[in-house]
Amino acid sequence: MTDVLRPDPDMITRADQALVRTVDALSDHEYAEPSQLPGWTRGHVVAHLTLNAEGLAGVLHGAHLGRPRPMYASPEARDTDIAELATAQPAELRERFLAATGQFGHALEAMSESDWEGRFERTPDGPDFALGNVVLMRLREVEIHHADLDAGYSADDWPEDFRVVLLESMTKRPYPAPFSVRPTDLDRTWHYGEGGGGPVVSGTSSALGWWLTGRGTGEGLTSDTGALPEVESW
């Protein structure tokens, strides 16, 4: 991910609180039910959100102490840990998720302005990212995967400030060909991909954000060429 903006930390606090309410409300059997992510149950989504919070909290803590550390030990370890945690008893998974959410919040609060300088690795010797991207990374994980849970919260529930952040941050991704999006509920247009021109896709900002992350089939969207551009899953 190209270095982008750092959202207001209040946005992640609000997003975390909403996600915690949803996870707390899940009955035990609902953890084993499918999420909106292919091949993943709700338990997998909660496990991923848990390990993501732990990993990013570790990154922030390391930066605060001046001891940089990667987010995950390896790509394989990350995938294995998600698969294992997803099969834990719901009470155990819920408790660890709540602890991880708090852990990230405490690590974020401890950061001073100078701590945000520098970069961190997702895995050792892997791609590195600006520390200033951490809040954005966690915010997108929480809001998008909250909707992925398919538990009463959808892209239509995303707050307007998050929808703006999402549409802006997605401009930093690579695309096969240029295009623009024009939300019907926001007085603004975003351009994606290199070069000018390309189709203009219209729809609500929530529908556009959902589609830009590779979800759904573009329900509720229209293109002035009659065909939606190609986007990859986030």
Q: Where in the sequence is the domain holding 64, given as residue range(s)?
A: 9-153
Residues 6+ apart with CB under 8 A from 225: 199
Same domain, 76 and 131: yes
Element (H, E) at 121: strand 119-121
Report if residue 47 sits inside a domain: yes
194, 196, 213, 111: which is closest to 154 by C-alpha? Answer: 213
| CA–CA gap between residue 150 and residue 147 (Å, rounded) | 6
> What is the number of structural domains in the chain?
2
Residue 230 lies in a domain: no
Same domain, 82 and 188: no
Statement: the pTM of the whole predicted model exceeds 0.75? yes
On whether residue 136 sits in a domain, the answer given is: yes
CATH number at residue 17: 1.20.120.450
pLDDT at 6: 76
What pLDDT does 11 receive?
96
Distance (Å, whole) CA 120 – CA 134: 10
Domain stop point among 98, 122, 153:
153
Within 10 angstroms of residue 199's Cβ, the number of other Cβ atoms is 18
Q: What percent of the chain has pLDDT over 90?
A: 94
pLDDT greater than 70 at residue 2: no
Confidence of residue 145 (pLDDT cuts 50, 70, 90): very high
Of 83, 99, 103, nearest to 23 by C-alpha is 99
pLDDT for position 97 = 98
Amino acid at site 224:
D
Residue 221 has pLDDT above 80, yes or no: yes
pLDDT band per the 50, 70, 90 thresholds, residue 82: very high
